[in-house]
């Protein structure tokens, strides 16, 4: 019988090498780390090193547990580093070793990042023709101060997925804006670097580039996307970082100086560049390949009868009852144009929204009307994530809109009272089916928008 000691070794043992293991001087205290091995198939071993901090670990291999040879040295950036090794031998063992004299080794680009030999095209995505003319052209919030370049957006992508952006290196932007969920978060309230929760639901980032008012956040407190990108980094309950500490931390990594040089012509790491690169990446999250997009080109021949009924309801066509969702979720980006709205979620107001920032009474309880692109993926819904699914959203608009002084006109019926749609079950289901045609599965899996780190965040 073939022995499989490697598997047993992996499954039964998590090696912990701490202070004063072999070879080390007594004063050279190593941080605690764990190594776990999984014998996936044949001679392939998946290795995960976990440690807190930014340490270099030397991976050693042995076929007899007596003499150990160096396999490679890795800078393990807080958390976990995943790696696969192939070794022909039936019995082969790995361990990790900490050497205080070798802590200056720094991650090389090839070691830290998985990047294609030729960069992706971020600068000029192919866009549907409707995006190249008004009204969508006017929604574009990319300005000549910061036009997308391939290298700039790539740097932004690396930053977006890098946990170095949080003070204890525990979370990245992507922790709360996950690609598989339309760059949003399944949690009602996302957890920050120390586990604290905010009071608003993370926003999906599909087509954030197209918003005519150019402002960001539910309450529009960021005047531009460039301004927005620095705020979560410094927010005490989100990433809790100072910009000075961040620039120092990034400048210490050679792969960053390379990426900054490619993006901006010199290796200097500074706040302005960080914000611009992050904004470029967010503007690269372009969704144009949903079932709806195909429908635009073929007069919706690809839609089911139910989806087409939902589409007509959404746009208030063909004498359907007054369900003109498209009054507020407008254009092929399904985003509001120049105004802000209150959709009657609650009264009294728990969250004052834009009025809480501006101090203007007529803006109390009004919020940015977000794009509905990929809405199926970005549950839960509304600024406080109060609704867990699209059926609840549709039922809310059907029967639950609450009266308040700032309730937007399209949601008012006779006498100004909240509109009651009285939709049949079939029509409610049709609206939900239509909303799901805005899902772009390519976006949720596109490698050019995915985590570039070897760390396996």
Residue 397 found at the interface with ligand HEC (CB under 6 A): yes
Name beta bridge partners: 84.
Answer: 46
By the rule CB under 6 A, 375 interacts with ligand HEC: yes
Pick from 223, 220, 218: which is nearest to 386 by CA?
Answer: 218
Residues 384 and 351 sit within 8 Å (Cβ to Cβ): yes
Under the binding rule (CB under 6 A), the answer on residue 334 touching ligand HEC is no
Largest CA distance in the chain: 86
CB of 425 vs ligand HEC, minimal distance in Å? 15
What gap in Å lies between CA 323 and CA 434, rounded to an integer? 13
Binding mask 140-169 for ligand HEC (x = CB under 6 A): --------------------x----x----
User: Applying CB under 6 A, which part among 53-61, 106-114, 119-127, 196-204 lies near ligand HEC?
Assistant: 196-204
8 A C-beta contact, residue 254 and residue 106: yes
Residue among 152, 208, 211, 167 nearest 184 (CA)? 208
Which has the closest alpha carbon to 66: 15, 17, 22?
A: 22
Name which position in 381, 440, 453, 455 contacts ligand HEC (CB under 6 A). Answer: 381
State yes or no: residue 310 binds ligand HEC (CB under 6 A): no
Exposure string over 367-392, b if 16+ CB within 10 A, otherwise e = bbbbbbbbbbbbbbbbbbbbbeebeb
Question: Hey, which residues between 165 and 194 contact ligand HEC (CB under 6 A)?
Answer: 165, 171, 173, 175-177, 190, 192
Contact between 430 and ligand HEC by CB under 6 A: the answer reads no
Q: Is 200 in the site for ligand HEC (CB under 6 A)?
A: yes
Q: Does 345 bind ligand HEC (CB under 6 A)?
A: yes
The region that residue 207 occupies, defined by phi over 0 for left and psi between -120 and 50 for alpha, beta otherwise, is left
Q: Does residue 364 bind ligand HEC (CB under 6 A)? A: no
Helix or strand (DSSP H, E) at 71? strand 69-86
Q: Using CA atoms, how far apart are residues 77 and 167, in angstroms rounded to an integer?
A: 13
Stretch that binds ligand HEC, among 17-25, 102-110, 340-348, 445-453 (CB under 6 A): 340-348
Using CB under 6 A, list all residues that contact ligand HEC. Answer: 160, 165, 171, 173, 175-177, 190, 192, 198, 200, 202-205, 208, 216-219, 225, 228-229, 232-233, 238-239, 278, 282, 323, 325, 327-329, 341, 343, 345, 367-370, 372, 375, 378, 381-383, 393-394, 397, 408, 410-411, 431
């Amino acid at each position: 019988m073939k022995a499989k000691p490697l598997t047993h070794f992996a499954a039964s043992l998590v090696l912990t090498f701490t202070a004063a293991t072999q070879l080390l001087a007594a004063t050279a205290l190593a941080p605690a780390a764990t190594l776990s091995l999984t014998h996936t198939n044949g001679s392939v071993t998946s290795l995960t090193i976990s440690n807190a901090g930014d340490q270099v670990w030397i991976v050693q291999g042995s076929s007899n547990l007596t003499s150990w040879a160096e396999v490679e040295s890795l800078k393990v950036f807080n958390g976990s580093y995943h790696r696969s090794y192939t070794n022909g031998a039936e019995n082969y063992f790995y361990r990790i070793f900490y050497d205080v004299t070798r802590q200056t080794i720094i991650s090389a680009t090839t070691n830290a990042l998985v990047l294609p030999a030729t960069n992706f095209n971020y600068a000029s995505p192919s866009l549907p023709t409707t995006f190249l003319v008004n009204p969508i052209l006017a929604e574009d919030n990319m300005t000549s101060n910061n036009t997308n370049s391939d290298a700039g957006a790539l740097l932004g992508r690396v930053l977006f997925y890098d946990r170095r952006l949080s003070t204890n290196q525990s979370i990245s932007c992507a922790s709360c804006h996950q690609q598989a969920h339309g760059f949003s978060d399944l949690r009602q309230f996302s957890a920050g670097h120390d586990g604290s929760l905010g009071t608003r639901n993370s926003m999906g980032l599909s087509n954030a580039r197209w918003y005519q008012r150019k402002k960001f956040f539910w309450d529009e407190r960021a005047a531009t996307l460039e301004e927005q990108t620095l705020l979560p980094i410094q927010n005490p309950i989100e990433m809790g970082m100072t910009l000075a500490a961040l620039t120092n931390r990034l400048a210490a990594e050679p792969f960053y100086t390379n990426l900054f040089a490619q993006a901006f012509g010199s290796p200097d790491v500074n706040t302005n560049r960080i914000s611009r690169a992050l904004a470029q990446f967010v503007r690269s999250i372009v969704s144009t390949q949903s079932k709806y997009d195909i429908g635009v080109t073929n007069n919706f021949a690809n839609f089911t009868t139910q989806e087409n009924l939902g589409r007509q309801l959404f746009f208030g066509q063909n004498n359907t009852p007054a369900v003109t969702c498209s009054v507020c979720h407008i254009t092929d980006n399904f985003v509001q144009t120049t105004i802000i709205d209150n959709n009657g979620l609650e009264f009294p107001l728990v969250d004052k929204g834009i009025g809480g920032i501006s101090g203007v009474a007529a803006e109390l309880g009004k919020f940015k009307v977000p794009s509905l692109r990929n809405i199926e993926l970005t549950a839960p819904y509304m600024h406080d994530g109060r609704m867990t699914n699209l059926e609840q959203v549709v039922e809310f608009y059907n029967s639950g809109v609450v009266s308040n002084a700032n309730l937007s006109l399209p949601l008012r019926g006779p006498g100004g009272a909240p509109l009651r749609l009285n939709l049949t079950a079939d029509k409610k289901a049709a609206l939900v089916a239509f909303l799901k045609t805005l899902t772009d599965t390519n976006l949720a899996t596109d490698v050019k928008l995915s985590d570039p780190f070897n760390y396996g965040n």
